[in-house]
Amino acid sequence: MNSRRDLLKAMALLPLAACTRELNQLNGGESQSGPQSPLGWMPPGEELNLQKVKIKKVRAITTAPYGIGLVIVKVETDVPGLYGVGCATFTQRVKPVVAAINEYLDEFCRDKDASRIEDIWQTAYVSSYWRNGPVLNNALSGLDQALWDIKGKLAGMPVYQLLGGKVRFAVDTYSHASGPTPEKVMEHVERLREMGFRNIRMQMGGYGSTHLVTDPPYKRHGFGKEKDHTMSAQAYKNGVVDMFKLARKRYGDDIELLHDMHERVEPMDAIDLIKRLEEYRPFFIEDPFSPENMGWFPMLREQCAVPIAMGELLNNPHEWVDPMAKRWYDFIRIHISQIGGITPAMKVARLGEWFNVRTAWHGPGDTSPVGHAANAHIDLAVWNFGIQECKLFREEAFEVFPGTPTVENGYMFVNEAPGLGIDIDEEKAAKYPLRDYNYEWTQVRKPDGTPVRP
């Protein structure tokens, strides 16, 4: 094979798996025996001008293979079979994101040169004049991730290679254990340890342990809704301390323990709880404060040395640039589609390097498998990677999204194929239509009925 172009011509005749392996070996990718998704894009026999590939269509695809509403962007190009996929999932507001993609970004991107990711990102970002909101950022993210997918396919290498190559063999992750009591949480912790997880986030009941409050006064007075959740800061804090105490007693230091406060208590209660947890050496405590209460961080930092993670609710650079530069937290937890995709997320990661803020991208169920792939490609390529939240996907997700990253012994592996290594099977996706969004989990009150940030 004396030139890439000869190889590409030859590959047109090879079954996909073989060509992906060929291409990977040529580009230093590791060919894994793992699943290789059908990413064939080579138009048989045609000379492909790798320089100028035009965007032909930008469209949103919605699906809910595991119940949570997901939004995927597909960017189709003028090269037959060459397209990219990206995650635009804002599950609480799917419809406006779909409209932003189909009604605005599609027309905006028509006939643009797909290789110009930064230019398209910057011009799309300001095309609405008002910017940095969750709806438009998610739409932009889907487009952005899909353009990186296309660039990887054109280059014949996984996106992590375009981002600088691997700094580690795989992505270390944490998984979620929960239960109504500390003992029940430990049972779940044990199951995850048996699966090889070394880092485990523990939650007693849902966020804020609202199951501990059964008959709040406001409901007795007919205030709020019957299904509203109720927070008791004291009951919650005591439960979390008991949970950590039991975990350390049972596992000693042979486990990393994480917890998400999910901005549920008053700032001083948050500081109090974190100080009480210090002796149990948490790996990190997440979202002690809401983004509206960022100003409380200096007080927390002065009082204890517990690592802090923050950021899933952030949309605007003002919310992370200064706090990272002031070292107010140790892990940045951004939901990368909420800020506009891989392009801005790489800038956040690079910024963190100078202030030793490590990445811990948001990665629960309302990050689609495509979003998990995007997270993982960045995680493999940035020096200041901290940890990755992982979702244990059920088979429906792999069915709809061939090439979904896999997890072994708590390590996440991307599919070593060109681009993001993941695809969406639209026929299968259509089998899982969106369900109505359930607002209830966000409806949280204090015993007197005062609404609480969820």
| Catalytic residue ranges | 207, 262
**106 binding ligand GCO? (CB under 6 A):** no
Per CB under 6 A, contacts with ligand GCO among 246-305 are 260, 262
- Among residues 263, 312, 319, 330, which is the contact residue for ligand GCO, using CB under 6 A? 312
| Closer residue to ligand GCO (CB): 266 or 366 | 366
- State in angstroms the smallest separation of the CB of 195 from ligand GCO: 18
d(CA 394, CA 156): 29
x/- track of binding to ligand GCO for residues 314-353 (CB under 6 A): ----------------------------------------
Which of 62, 65, 64 is closest to 394 using CA atoms?
65
- For 186, half-sphere exposure in the C-beta direction (CA atoms, 13 angstrom radius) is 13
Angle, vertex CA 289, rays to CA 287 and CA 294, nearest 5: 115
x/- track of binding to Mg ion for residues 306-325 (CB under 5 A): ------x-------------
364 binds, among ligand GCO, Mg ion, none (CB under 5 to 8 A by kind): ligand GCO
Question: Do the Cβ atoms of 375 and 367 come closer than 8 Å?
Answer: yes
End-to-end CA distance of the chain: 58
CA distances from 324 to 289, 319, 353 (A): 15, 9, 10
- Among residues 76, 260, 263, 423, which is the contact residue for Mg ion, using CB under 5 A? 260
- State in angstroms the smallest separation of the CB of 328 from ligand GCO: 18
- Chain residue at closest Cβ approach to Mg ion: 260
d(CA 377, CA 144): 14
Scan for tokens 């138009």, then name that residue.
Answer: 43
d(CA 153, CA 147): 10
Residue 351, helix vs strand vs coil: helix
Which residues have C-beta within 8 Å of that of residue 313, sequence separation ≥ 6? 263, 287, 290, 291, 338
| Closer residue to Mg ion (CB): 76 or 312 | 312
| Closer residue to Mg ion (CB): 228 or 312 | 312
Q: From 21-29, 185-193, 211-219, 259-267, give the range in contact with Mg ion by CB under 5 A.
A: 259-267
* Binding residues for Mg ion (CB under 5 A): 260, 312
* Binding residues for ligand GCO (CB under 6 A): 91, 260, 262, 312, 362, 364, 366, 389
